[in-house]
Structure 1
Amino acid sequence: MNGDWLMRGRDGRLSVYQLSGATVLCRAERGPGGPWTDPRTVGGDQKLHPVLAVGQGADGYAHLVSWRPTTKGESGLVHSTHFRPRLAALDWNPIGHPDKKGDRTGQPAVAVDARGRAHVFVRNTDGGVSLLAQKEKGGWEPWRDLKGREVQDGLAAVTGESGRIDLYATAPGAVLYWRQEEPGAQPVLQEALETGVRPGTLHALATSPDSTTVFYTDDAGDLRAWRPGSKPATLLPSAGPGPVTAVRCDLGGHDCTLLAQRSAGGRVAFAAYPTELESAGAWWTESGPQLPVDALVSLAVDEDDRLVAATLSPSTGQLLLSGRKDEPGLALEAWRSV
C-alpha cells in the first residue's frame, strides 16, 4: 500500500484500509477509542489487483486508487472517494491509463489539494511520471507527462500546509522532486538530489507552512531527511528494511515529528525529534510484540490529538493498535488486537 492507511475521518473516527485478495476493506471506530466495525468491502464488487494508494484532503475525505484487470494482459486505474468511515464509499470509477492502454506501470500515489481535488501519480512506460488530476467541478483533466528518467517504484506524494502538492521519487543514485507552484498547476521537476537511496523507502510529510520533508534510507542503511533547497540530514541508522511512517504531534508542548518502522527484530520502533530540527538527534525505542515479516506500520492523531499507532499484516489480516498514555513522554498503552 502507498500512503497513510490509518487516518482520522471527517467525523473524527479513525479508519483503516487494507487489501484482501482482489478487494479493499475498511474498518472504522464506532466511537472514540472503539469498538470497531467489522471489515467492509470498499467500492463495490469490482475485482482489483493487490495494490492500493490512499490520500486524504483537508475535508477529511479519503481518496483511494488501485489497478483493475481489463482485458488479457492489460489493466486500468480506478478511483473511489470515501466521505465518512462508517458510510459506504463510492463505487470504483475507471480513470484510464498513463499510456492510454497496457499493463500496470507501477504503484500509484495520490495526494489531495486544498480544494479537495485528487492528484494521481504513476510511472509510465517511458520511465517518467504521469499525473491525472481531478477537476474542481467533477471529472478529470487529461493525463500529463511530468517527465523524469529511470523513475523507480515507490512514489511519495504529499500536500503541504499551503495546499500545494509535492512529489518525490527515486531514480538510480538520486531522489527527484516535483513542486506545484500554484494550486491546480502542473507540478514541475525542480531538483534532483544526488544520493544513494534504497528504492521503496520514501515517505513525505508536511513539516512547515512552506516545506515538506522526505525521509529515505541511503545505501549505507542510514535514515535521512531532506528538504529541497538544503542538504540532507542523517537522523539515525534505519531500524529495518522497509520505509518509515511519520506524523507530527505534540510531545510535551513541542511540535515533534514521530517516526515508526518495523525493526529488523520484528517489533515496532519509534523515534521522535523536534520538527525540522534533525540536529537535535533521535533514537529508536521498540514496542509491542514481534510481528509477521509483511507487517505494515501507520500513525495518526485522533480527534483528541492523541497519538495512535497501528500495525497490519496483509497475510493474516491481524490489526494491532496502541495509543499514547496520558502522561509525559512517549509511553504507549499495551497493544491490542482489533
Structure 2
Amino acid sequence: MNGDWLIRGRDGRLGVYLMSDDAVLCRAERTPGGPWEAPRRVGGDQKVHPALAVGQGADGYAHLASWWTTLKGVTGMVHSVHFRPLLAALDWAPLGHPDKKGDRTGTPAVAVDTQGRAHVFVRGIGTGLRMIAQKEKGGWDPWRDLKGQGLEGAPVAVTGESGCVQAYAAVSGGILHWRQEAPGTQPVLQEPLKAPVRTGTLRALATSPEHTTLFYTDDSGDVCAWRPGTEPVSVLAAAGPGPVAAIRTELDGHDCTLLAQRSASGRVAFAAYPTERESAGAWWAESGPQLPADAVVALAKDHEDRVVAAALSPSTGLLQLTRRKDEPGLALMAWRTV
C-alpha cells in the first residue's frame, strides 16, 4: 500500500484500507471513537491486483488507485472514490495503461488537489514517471509523460498547502522531484537531489505554506528530511526498515512533526520535533506490543483531533490502534486490537 491508508472520513469515523488477494477491503468505526466493523470489499466485484494507492482530499473523500486485468487480458489502472468509511465506494473505473498497453509497471501514488481532483502517478515501462489527472468538470485528461529515468520503487505524491501537487521518486544515487507551478497544471521535473537513498523509504508531508518535506532513509541508516531548494538534514537513525509515517500535530502548544516506524525490535517507535526545525533534535520512544514482521504503521487524527497510530499486518489482517491521551506530551493509551 502507498499513501495514507488510515483516514478520518467527513463524518469523523476512522477507516483503514487493506489488500486481500484480489480486492481492496475497508474497515471502519461504526461511530466516531466506537467499535469497528468487519472488513468490507470496496470498488465493486471486479478483481484487482495487490497494489493500492490511497490519497485523501480536503473534502475528506478517499481516492483509490490500483491495477486490474480485464476478462480479455488487457491490463490497466483503475480508480475509485470512497466518500465515507461506512458507505459503498464507487465501482472501479478504468484509467487505461500509462504506456497505452503492457503489463503492470509498479505501485501507483495518489494526491488530491484543493479542487478535489485526483492525480495518479506511476512508473512507466521506460522507468520514467507517468501521470493522469481528473478534469475540473469531470472525466480525465490523457496520461502524461513527466520525464525522468531510472525510477526505483514506488513514487510518493503530496498536495502542498499552496494547493500544488508534488511527486518524488528514488533513482540510483538520488531523488527526482516534480512540482506544479500552479494548481491544475502539469507537474514539472525539478533539479534532482544527489543523495544515497534506500529504495522504498520515501514519505512526503506538507509542512508549511511554502514547503513540503520529504523523509527518506539514506545508505548510512539515518532518516533524512529534505525540502527542495535546501540541503537534506539527518533527523535521527532509522528505527527499522521501510518508510516512516509522518503527521503534523500540536504538542504542548507547538507545531510539531510526529514520526512513527516499526522498529527493529518489532514495536512502534515514535519521535517528534518542532516542524521544519530538525536541528532541535528528535529521539525514538517505543510503544506497544511486538508486531508481525510485515506490519506497517500509519498516523491520523480522530474526531477529537487526537493523534491515532495504527499498525496493520497485511498477511494476517491484524489491526492494532492507540490514541494520544488528553494530557501534556505524547502519552499514549494502551494499544488494542480491533
- Contact 1:176–1:189 (CA<8 Å) still a contact in 2? yes
Counterpart residue number, 2:279: 279
Counterpart residue number, 1:56: 56
Counterpart residue number, 1:290: 290
Summarize deviations over 1:56-87 as a string: whole Å, max 9, x none.
Answer: 00100000000112368752101000011111
How far apart are the structure 2 equivalents of 1:38 and 1:218? 39
Give, as a single letter, the amino acid of the residue that structure 2 aligns with 1:309: A
| SS at 1:309 equivalent | strand
How far apart are the structure 2 equivalents of 1:74 and 1:44? 18
- Contact 2:262–2:295 (CA<8 Å) still a contact in 1? yes
How far apart are the structure 1 equivalents of 2:46 and 2:56? 22
Counterpart residue number, 2:131: 131
- Contact 1:216–1:223 (CA<8 Å) still a contact in 2? yes
Counterpart residue number, 1:311: 311
Bigger drift between 291-300 and 67-76 goes to 67-76
Q: Which runs of 5+ in 1 are unaligned?
A: none
- Contact 1:245–1:298 (CA<8 Å) still a contact in 2? yes
Displacement after TM superposition at 1:296 (Å): 0.8
Counterpart residue number, 1:82: 82
| SS at 2:152 equivalent | coil
Counterpart residue number, 1:47: 47
Counterpart residue number, 1:176: 176
Runs (4+) off by over 4 Å: 71-74
Bigger drift between 66-75 and 277-286 goes to 66-75
Displacement after TM superposition at 1:29 (Å): 1.2
Counterpart residue number, 1:38: 38
Q: How does 1:228-239 map to 2 (within 5 A)?
A: 228-239=228-239
Counterpart residue number, 1:112: 112
| SS at 2:192 equivalent | strand
How far apart are the structure 2 equivalents of 1:275 and 1:7? 21
Displacement after TM superposition at 1:127 (Å): 1.4
Counterpart residue number, 1:223: 223
Q: How does 1:118-267 map to 2 (within 5 A)?
A: 118-267=118-267
Displacement after TM superposition at 1:302 (Å): 1.3
How far apart are the structure 2 equivalents of 1:154 and 1:131? 13
Displacement after TM superposition at 1:32 (Å): 2.1
Summarize deviations over 1:253-308 as a string: whole Å, max 9, x none.
Answer: 11100000000111100000000000000000011111111001000011211010
- Contact 1:73–1:103 (CA<8 Å) still a contact in 2? no
Aligned pairs, number: 338
Give, as a single letter, the amino acid of the residue that structure 2 aligns with 1:138: G
Give, as a single letter, the amino acid of the residue that structure 2 aligns with 1:301: K
Summarize deviations over 1:191-231 as a string: whole Å, max 9, x none.
Answer: 20000000110000000011100000001111000000000
Displacement after TM superposition at 1:132 (Å): 0.2
TM-score normalised over the length of structure 2: 0.98
Q: Which runs of 5+ in 2 are unaligned?
A: none
Do residues 326 (structure 1) and 326 (structure 2) align?
Answer: yes
Displacement after TM superposition at 1:99 (Å): 0.6
How far apart are the structure 2 equivalents of 1:73 and 1:220? 44
| SS at 2:2 equivalent | coil
Give, as a single letter, the amino acid of the residue that structure 1 aligns with 2:80: S
Displacement after TM superposition at 1:321 (Å): 0.4
How far apart are the structure 2 equivalents of 1:126 and 1:23? 28
How far apart are the structure 2 equivalents of 1:303 and 1:182? 32
| SS at 1:154 equivalent | strand
Displacement after TM superposition at 1:13 (Å): 1.1
Displacement after TM superposition at 1:244 (Å): 0.5
Give, as a single letter, the amino acid of the residue that structure 1 aligns with 2:306: R
Summarize deviations over 1:87-137 as a string: whole Å, max 9, x none.
Answer: 100000111111101100011000000100000000001110000000111
Displacement after TM superposition at 1:34 (Å): 1.5
**For the structure 1 residues 79 and 279, does the alpha-carbon distance in structure 2 shift closer, same or farther, using more than 3 Å as the test?**
same
Give, as a single letter, the amino acid of the residue that structure 1 aligns with 2:67: W
Displacement after TM superposition at 1:31 (Å): 1.5
- Contact 1:154–1:201 (CA<8 Å) still a contact in 2? no
The CA RMSD over aligned residues, in Å, is: 1.0
How far apart are the structure 1 equivalents of 2:34 and 2:18? 18
**For the structure 1 residues 71 and 192, does the alpha-carbon distance in structure 2 shift closer, same or farther, using more than 3 Å as the test?**
farther
- Contact 1:320–1:335 (CA<8 Å) still a contact in 2? yes
How far apart are the structure 2 equivalents of 1:102 and 1:289? 43
- Contact 2:122–2:154 (CA<8 Å) still a contact in 1? no
